[in-house]
Structure 1
């Protein structure tokens, strides 16, 4: 019998009623851990196999036993001193309207912290989930149920020119993160004070019959105020009732509470602060002052000589501020102030006298509770479309629109060379929340001109009646319009909504004005930047490896010995490439493979001269972004584990471009908030780079490469004038979008030595053009391929089919002999935690996003897709009609509309797809994928084919071999077994 383990609405109401045990609960001095000034991940989901349930942690402690404290903080550097605990909403950014009016100043836990990770470097954690095939659709969600506090809370990633929203206290469209992975982002608050964010985890069993969840778990944020551990009063009502009601010295004191603009200008952002002063009226009084905002605890401070003053960032909207005085001397009396209304915009002081009662928590704009028992489906139709923006040649408006406006789901759209590729040339991700629609801008320049395979993966929330659905279309030409329609699968036993008959030739709706970008739903990744070195005493791996995605750091290491401390450099590789766990590698054995999807066009919003490392506005470079993108490698720098007591001058990591394509540029920088000035650590056209550290540091930035080709970057370490580690180099291979643009060993694109630049900066070169592609030779007619065998709904392996005739290779110049071994331009990367590919389309299988996921059983077998922009079929790619993967049905599909021819590019570039973000997952990251951790099967790290190394050949492809081998392997025990025993 099926069962549902679910927290009822009544239980939630009881939890919310009891969570604040006293109306003014707030002092958290009894919590096990007050977290501040450090890297911290919370919530972190934990799966328990023994109970089939989740729990939530702050790092390794139960989340409910911890508090995240956000104090005031500044960078404290003369170069660029800034308030790290504040965020100003800039003008001219309608996509930031969810944060408040232009010019509003928010309390902020920053995406990039100040020195010593101040005020706090908080993010979401990937957790300990293990294999996700125990969940329906390999999907689980972190759900924000409620936020109780004096103002609003928002969590988002800043990309410089755009944002990706994650979670919101007041907008219920942003209440779920799908398959969370390690992510650092902004967490902002409109008012200071104590917030309680209540979370839960949700998943469904693979058979769809059980709901797995966690208890409703609170996470406390203390915004502003003093360290909660210094509090002495637990229950203000009890403390007030127990205090002396009348003065013992007979003096006629007149206490006051005064709010006024902060007058001092010691730090940046001081002009936004408000001084809150309590004066008992007698200079000898001593006690404690308890201050609330909208009735919520803000801080507790000592009162000395009858006075206490705190400086806090109040919100742009007025709040009620109240002070309660608890005497600790022999003569003063308890006191309650009236509520004073004040905001950061007020310029004149306001004073109030004695009040009559304690104000309980009362947010005038309370956050809604979101905790549904189920998410029924009213329509299965989801339309996906791309429309070329007027006046552009490669900039598109992408729209995902569900016919059911209440659909909750994450999606990923990919354009690939073929259906069996793991790495998309262009991709976009996001979520569908309230309203059922998402709109984004995307650069599809690299995907124009040649037929592509289009794949849309939709993962509904585990409480939805819909299940994971994959819709695909082969031979799609990206022109003025391209799109397809997906029909969602429905869980067995759920009611199937009736769909209206489709229009004969549906015309897509005009693209709406872009809304604030929703959450890209992050996929889990192992560790992703934790400070623990794997097996410090173990030797470094020296086998050559190419890493195309996942997290890694170039790390300074130390070894303690009797002769003293020695230092080294290593690549801490968390990507699980050719390894089942995190490993340490030598730099020289490591190659970073950069795909076309790293292409980034500099927007006008990044016009500050500090972004000139990206070339002129409108030009394209290749960027490894500051915040993780699941389809792009994510390298960082780290000195974690270094004892700085032995390094009084700190530790400097040096960067030098040793080799590069002729005229190419490399750079490393960290973006400023909302496109403000960037901090450039390295620009190869000017000087070697230096990253100075004075304490254990883990950092990520944007790595920029101006042109396709092979780069070699040297990293060294020094302390003052002392050399800690001589320079060592790692390799970066940047692949453009078409075979003629790819670097080939022995060709003209070979790296050339680059001397160290002198002290005088050289002029910034213009953007290095991609090598002009040579025209393809006229191909001979391809033989008509045999139709692909129709997948059988029965998963029983079938005998290997008769192979299709091998296509006649295109005529072309005779290839030269292979050169000596060198790093390959770009490997076919291993799937990121998904099932092995290619896989049969029969049964319930199917390719999903990069790395793939398998649809679970119980899906409604009626599914079809309709697409637009499909060109004539290509040999070995597909039938020319869209297909729906993950269905056991062979129901017919609607033939797609013909697409207009590709719009020519103004600059003739055929480079890779825009990454969509400088410092985040942006328009391509956040795939909801299976977690990648030490429990994954080693086969997941084994590349199956490297067909995309050779370019977009219209002749023979290694995939033909795969298509022949897989069925034979199935007959002999399964493809999975074949791969695992390679």
Structure 2
């Protein structure tokens, strides 16, 4: 006979599933909700000799299986423009999605004034041991998408020649299904959905070890809710459970009706594209209306006094809509018949006709390969052709269409340059890949070379081909080659960090004082860093968040005073017509070169952002926090500035401009922002960096000044070599930081299908079992939850079950 304590726990467990919920239900209620913030998901971690996928946002990093990202309607806090709709460009580069000018629900790659509706990207932790993988890379694999429409992850700018489209992952027939990762990879990208509704995306991370074995975690699925109401924090009953508990009856007599019409009297940007969904009950019933689109969950609406209303962007294409009403009390439940809805055309149904059941769909599209492939044909062809007026496209086709992988490389200043001045990378999917660049006329004489790396599942070696030793814009080039069968790694693996060679550079006259300022600090010259504000009593403190993995195989907060951000000559670019506005004259004349740190990450260039995510803006006057960059010293005659892409990739907005004596970058929300940085001349640039704000009480909030240093140009960086990050490891500056991590994880040696016993790795030579500590803690948490539930619902439990304890 069970003890009273055991019966007590069993009773509480049962009640957790059968007690009616007071909140509106939804299939993802109770999960970690990522929305209105910067989100890295999936983010790949390396734990216990295996990949782990998490969603990182705020101070949370739950497994992606326990996360729902909500993409609702969002608007810029700066000008009120919508940030949830994306219109396909007129240049036709995205006609694989729809006709130019067609609009879709999209999580934006760039937000303005806030992170609404969500700022969604993917990435990899700095501790990812890519130096232990073949070619120095891992791959994020999108294995399947299950939802009412298609999905595409990309970045794009509105340009005439269509050279700015970068496709990352997606479910369209020709979409890439794998994206490469190195330690610290971090993306800001658009995520487009052709219809609203609930999407289930299944991912894994894979790599091939240097011993030739495939390393891959078990597939993991995350949810993205597009449109509809925000999921609830509390777990609620499923539609099936609610329907079973609701009353049967005469739905016809109840007088239920559902109507969908174009939104009247638009108020906000994008409202003219919305559909108003209205539900009415003549019997004034209350309850929950669940809407399904093409058999997938769209949203739950609370019905009060017989009415519910919701504005939704239904996408440009026809959909099949169905409604399920689960009322409270004795009112009759109702399942509508599915009906066709075409945006812009009114549609309605009512309870004079009903369905016996609702239609639930699940049609996952299988995408990235999971089985290992042996290539039957090793050949490939690479073509370089003019595209539009000023663009150039590189196309690669492999003889074996089972090849999947990655193309890197681009245009180099010379044959001996290790890093390109025009950096290109693109996935190769089913034997085909394309990538384009513009302004080819500025790169006459450049050395054009590409590298081809196989996906983790492909049993083949890398390849490298020179397209031309002296590029001329408008000329056609073609070359062929074969993949190797060797396991040896090339020196130009995308995950490697070789020191760049000396490329042609502008003249530089650096003083001995400058050399001393630079050489006594740690040099970080590639990878992700943030100038980060953190709250302290009475103000802020400023740190440099170092995600480069050049010194530590983890994220580290450093003093700005201790670091130099190095900019090599591979960052040189020319002022083009897109930067023709007078406000950009600080860059020099059109066609002249300046040093450019792009807003989108280039693995071979330092990528600084500014980060205020930890600050509470409600404590500041006007919700404003400023990053101040007061120049201390700059090269003679030099100018500098920072600017950012405009909304939806149209134009630019200046953030700071030394020519205009504007040294302040204003932020209006907890932001993690990357911008374009520009420096007109080589040399050493030093700034007094502070974060400032005015508190609600009128007092100044300020961080202690620190020195932010940029060393610009290869010649300038030569004088910074006396203290390289590796010096603390006892290594020579010529050694690759990622080839000898400071803390080296155990060599991965999993079976072809990695085992996953769910246990942490035990220390060698010890009988210690972490479960001896973890299990009691887990049981304590569970028991406390049950106890709290019983305490809060004691009367209900006693009454329902007649309990006497």
TM-score (norm 2): 0.74
- Conserved? CA contact 2:148–2:295, under 8 Å: yes
- Conserved? CA contact 1:681–1:691, under 8 Å: yes
TM-superposed deviation, 1:312: 0.9
Summarize the Cα distance change of 1:179–1:677 in structure 2 as closer, same or farther, 3 Å threshold: closer
Paired position in structure 1 for 2:708: 730
Paired position in structure 2 for 1:313: 313
Paired position in structure 1 for 2:532: 555
Distance 2:388 2:337 in 1: 58
Distance 1:367 1:610 in 2: 48
Distance 1:64 1:661 in 2: 51
- Conserved? CA contact 1:133–1:206, under 8 Å: no
Say yes or no: does 1:705 pair with 2:653.
no
Structure 1 unpaired stretches of 5+: 1-24, 493-520, 526-540, 737-741, 745-821, 840-850, 853-929, 938-982
Paired position in structure 2 for 1:360: 359
TM-superposed deviation, 1:150: 0.8
Distance 1:314 1:211 in 2: 42
Summarize the Cα distance change of 1:405–1:589 in structure 2 as closer, same or farther, 3 Å threshold: same
Q: What are the Cα deviations for residues 378-410 of structure 1, in whole angstroms up to 9, with x where unaligned?
A: 321233454577987xx6443333233332111
Paired position in structure 2 for 1:88: 87
Distance 2:461 2:153 in 1: 27
Paired position in structure 2 for 1:261: 262
Summarize the Cα distance change of 1:485–1:580 in structure 2 as closer, same or farther, 3 Å threshold: same
Greater share of helix residues, 1 or 2? 2
How do 1:422-501 residues align onto structure 2 when only pairs under 5 Å count? 422-442=418-438, 448-449=444-445, 456-470=450-464, 476-479=469-472, 480=475, 484-490=479-485
SS at match of 2:544: strand
TM-superposed deviation, 1:547: 2.8
TM-superposed deviation, 1:308: 0.5
Distance 2:348 2:228 in 1: 20
Q: What are the Cα deviations for residues 218-268 of structure 1, in whole angstroms up to 9, with x where unaligned?
A: 1111111112226886443453344322159xx933321100111243322
TM-superposed deviation, 1:124: 0.8
Summarize the Cα distance change of 1:275–1:827 in structure 2 as closer, same or farther, 3 Å threshold: farther
Say yes or no: does 1:671 pair with 2:638.
no
- Conserved? CA contact 2:424–2:435, under 8 Å: no
Distance 2:305 2:117 in 1: 30
SS at match of 2:659: coil
Say yes or no: does 1:651 pair with 2:625.
yes
- Conserved? CA contact 2:110–2:645, under 8 Å: no
Give the one of 376, 399, 403 matched to 1:403. 399
Say yes or no: does 1:207 pair with 2:201.
no
Say yes or no: does 1:575 pair with 2:548.
yes
How do 1:272-421 residues align onto structure 2 when only pairs under 5 Å count? 272-282=273-283, 284-330=284-330, 332-344=331-343, 346=344, 348=346, 350-351=348-349, 354-362=353-361, 367-386=365-384, 396-413=392-409
Moved more, 586-595 or 30-39: 586-595
SS at match of 1:489: coil
Q: What are the Cα deviations for residues 308-360 of structure 1, in whole angstroms up to 9, with x where unaligned?
A: 01111111001112111111033x2111223333344x154655553324442
Summarize the Cα distance change of 1:624–1:101 in structure 2 as closer, same or farther, 3 Å threshold: same
Paired position in structure 1 for 2:271: 270
Distance 2:559 2:248 in 1: 71
- Conserved? CA contact 1:205–1:212, under 8 Å: yes
SS at match of 1:61: coil
Paired position in structure 2 for 1:58: 55
TM-superposed deviation, 1:42: 1.6
Paired position in structure 1 for 2:39: 40
Distance 1:611 1:270 in 2: 35
Distance 1:567 1:693 in 2: 14
How do 1:766-805 residues align onto structure 2 when only pairs under 5 Å count? none
Structure 2 unpaired stretches of 5+: 1-23, 488-492, 498-517, 746-805
Distance 2:243 2:579 in 1: 54
Summarize the Cα distance change of 1:324–1:491 in structure 2 as closer, same or farther, 3 Å threshold: farther
TM-superposed deviation, 1:215: 1.7
Paired position in structure 2 for 1:97: 95
Distance 1:165 1:76 in 2: 28
- Conserved? CA contact 1:278–1:323, under 8 Å: no
Distance 1:828 1:160 in 2: 40
- Conserved? CA contact 2:150–2:171, under 8 Å: yes
Distance 1:694 1:216 in 2: 38
TM-superposed deviation, 1:682: 1.4
Summarize the Cα distance change of 1:172–1:692 in structure 2 as closer, same or farther, 3 Å threshold: same
Distance 1:633 1:566 in 2: 29
Q: What are the Cα deviations for residues 139-185 of structure 1, in whole angstroms up to 9, with x where unaligned?
A: 43221111111111111123554121111122354111122622121
Distance 2:726 2:412 in 1: 15
Q: What are the Cα deviations for residues 618-655 of structure 1, in whole angstroms up to 9, with x where unaligned?
A: 66543211121101111111234445565445422223
SS at match of 2:247: coil
Paired position in structure 2 for 1:596: 569
Paired position in structure 1 for 2:166: 164
Say yes or no: does 1:681 pair with 2:680.
no
SS at match of 1:597: helix
Paired position in structure 1 for 2:508: none
Paired position in structure 2 for 1:888: none
Summarize the Cα distance change of 1:125–1:68 in structure 2 as closer, same or farther, 3 Å threshold: same
Distance 1:186 1:192 in 2: 15
How do 1:522-537 residues align onto structure 2 when only pairs under 5 Å count? none
Summarize the Cα distance change of 1:578–1:292 in structure 2 as closer, same or farther, 3 Å threshold: closer
Distance 2:329 2:233 in 1: 19
Distance 2:639 2:525 in 1: 21
Distance 1:193 1:524 in 2: 41
Paired position in structure 2 for 1:507: none
Summarize the Cα distance change of 1:579–1:823 in structure 2 as closer, same or farther, 3 Å threshold: farther
Greater share of strand residues, 1 or 2? 2
TM-superposed deviation, 1:665: 3.5
Moved more, 171-180 or 435-444: 435-444
TM-score (norm 1): 0.61
- Conserved? CA contact 1:27–1:231, under 8 Å: no
- Conserved? CA contact 2:127–2:549, under 8 Å: no
Distance 1:113 1:582 in 2: 25
How do 1:756-905 residues align onto structure 2 when only pairs under 5 Å count? none
- Conserved? CA contact 2:547–2:556, under 8 Å: yes
Distance 1:524 1:308 in 2: 57
SS at match of 1:240: helix
- Conserved? CA contact 2:724–2:733, under 8 Å: no
Q: What are the Cα deviations for residues 895-928 of structure 1, in whole angstroms up to 9, with x where unaligned?
A: xxxxxxxxxxxxxxxxxxxxxxxxxxxxxxxxxx
Distance 2:310 2:580 in 1: 39
Say yes or no: does 1:184 pair with 2:162.
no
Give the one of 138, 141, 160 matched to 2:139. 141
TM-superposed deviation, 1:280: 1.8
Distance 1:826 1:426 in 2: 29
SS at match of 1:102: coil
Summarize the Cα distance change of 1:101–1:572 in structure 2 as closer, same or farther, 3 Å threshold: same
SS at match of 1:97: coil
Q: What are the Cα deviations for residues 681-718 of structure 1, in whole angstroms up to 9, with x where unaligned?
A: 21223241433335533211111234445444443332
Give the one of 546, 555, 570 matched to 2:523. 546
- Conserved? CA contact 1:339–1:355, under 8 Å: no
Distance 1:694 1:542 in 2: 36
- Conserved? CA contact 1:611–1:677, under 8 Å: no
Give the one of 219, 223, 229 matched to 1:220. 223
SS at match of 1:556: strand
Alpha carbon RMSD of aligned pairs, Å?
Answer: 4.1
- Conserved? CA contact 1:73–1:84, under 8 Å: yes
Distance 2:615 2:713 in 1: 35
